[in-house]
Each structure stands twice: as structure tokens, then as C-alpha cells.
Structure 1
Amino acid sequence: MKKMIIIPALILSSLNLFAQSSSCAQVIDTLCSSEKINVVVGTIAVIFIGLSFYLFSIDNRLKKIEKDK
């Protein structure tokens, strides 16, 4: 029963994404023409690296706590 509800919901949500493709293309063209795309990609990379480091440090702390108990 859950599959019968989830599948149409996913299909309808993906249709919404296709409707927004033209405005996204304009934003990408603007960023590429002004060469700000490198700043955006760099910022996302720094955030991803920071989050990865944070999650690995939490994992190491949890392993140490579990090992002590």
C-alpha cells in the first residue's frame, strides 16, 4: 500500500523539477559568463569537506566511547 502512495508522489515531484529548467539555465549561464561559478563550486567544496571532517571526527569519538564501555 505504501508503494502505491509513494510512487505517484515521486513522479509528481519530478514533474515540478522539469518545469523549472529554463530559469535554472539562465542562472547557470549568468554565473558562467561572469566566472562566479568557480566561487560557488569552491564554496560548496569547502562546506562539503568541513562537514565530512566533522562527521568523521564524531564517528571516531563514538567508536572510542563504545570501546570504553
Structure 2
Amino acid sequence: MKKLLLLISLLSVSFALFAQESGGVEMATELRSSGKIYVVVSVLVVIFIGLAFYLFSMDNRLKKIEKLQK
């Protein structure tokens, strides 16, 4: 039974690989050629830094609350 499930899962993965195009993503090529990809990457970096700052500050606040409850 395990071998059958393994065979089915491996076949489904291989079919998904055949479905992918090898030509590349047209939008990414266009953004890279015009230089706008750097704007996209910088906006994503700013968003991730903001999320990290928010999570660390939330963690610090929760630690303070836990200390007050003890």
C-alpha cells in the first residue's frame, strides 16, 4: 500500500513538472529589462522589514505582560 501511494505521488509530481513552461516569465523579463524589478524588490524588502519590526515589538510587549502577571 505504501509503495502504491509513493508511486502515485511521484507520478503526480512528474506530471506537474511537465506542465511548466521553459520560456520563462514574460513579466519578469520585462521588469528586469526596464529596471523596475529593483523597485519591486525594494518594496518587498521594506514590507518584510516592517513585518519583522512589528513582530519583534509585539514579542517584547508580550514578554513585559507575562512578567507583570508573574
| TM score, norm. by length of structure 2 | 0.68
Q: Which residue of the partner structure matches residue 48 of structure 1?
A: 48
Name structure 1 gaps, 5 residues minimum: none
Q: Taking structure 1 as the reference length, what is the TM-score of the superposition? A: 0.68
Map residues 8-19 of structure 1 onto 2, 5 A cutoff.
8=9, 15=16, 19=20
Between Structure 1 and Structure 2, the one with more helix by share is 1
Shift of 1:42: 0.3
Specify every segment of 5 or more residues in structure 2 that has no aligned partner in the other structure, as ranges. Answer: none
> Structure 1 63/26 Cα, relative in aligned 2: closer, same or farther at 3 Å?
same
Aligned residues: 59
Once superposed, what is the RMSD of the aligned Cα atoms? 2.5
